[in-house]
Amino acid sequence: KIMRQGELHPAQRTTRQPGQIRAGLRYVWNEPQLRATLIMMFIIGTFAYEFPVILPLFATVTLHGDASTYSAMTAAMGIGAICGGLYTAGRGAVGATQLVRAACLFGISLCLLALTPRLVAALVVLVVVGGLSVLFIALGNTTLQLTSQPEMRGRVMSLWSIAFLGTTPIGGPLIGFIADHSNPRVGLLVGGIATLIAGAVGVATGRHKKSAPTPKPA
């Protein structure tokens, strides 16, 4: 009852039609900010969000720990994720600039994690990694929803899901192979550098784009 219903902007339900998938792909490709956001998520989702693969190796091989070491690392990431979620919930501006900044900071934090010599330092950096990972996901999700047209929003968000979750079967084995045949630190560095490259893609594509506007009433 406390919701201000006058500020809600309901959109018409899109009816099922032939060629909707192709239309959604064309729409995203022709919108620079949407295209840049999805490309960034595809790169980062493939190379950076492979923590279930890389963190166990980093805990046991690099830091010479055991299951408790890995548990402490995931707990540190969880604390960071909570802080990142609370921070994101209180943000006002959302757009390409904030998304690129989050991607670059996330990439830097992954590179720092790869260079940490001891567990204590790794736990501190993992808190930052957890917060920035949630921040990037939330900003990307929000940017897509506020930028896309209501009739295309469902198709745009399905592509976001593919870029985020659908890249795991590619990135997981790839990062695992790199870590097994070199060093887990290299796997983390690959994720960090790829995230920085994704941030550069966002800068190049959205240089002249302003923050996502509030959607107008339907």
| pLDDT bucket at 54, cuts 50 / 70 / 90 | very high
Q: Cα separation of 94 and 137, whole Å? A: 12
| Look-up of token digits 């995931």 | 74
Q: Taking a C-beta distance cutoff of 8 angstroms, is the pair 187, 28 a contact?
A: no
**145-177: b or e for each residue (b if 16 or more CB lie within 10 Å)?**
bebbebbbbebbeebbeebbeebeeebbebbbe
pLDDT at position 106 = 97
Percent of the chain beyond pLDDT 70?
86
Find the range with the poorest average confidence among 72-76, 188-192, 212-216: 212-216
pLDDT of 152 strictly over 90: no
Q: Which of 95-109, 142-156, 185-199, 201-215 has the lowest mean pLDDT?
A: 201-215
Confidence of residue 207 (pLDDT cuts 50, 70, 90): low
Task: Determine phi and psi for 165, rounding to 5 degrees.
Answer: -90, -35
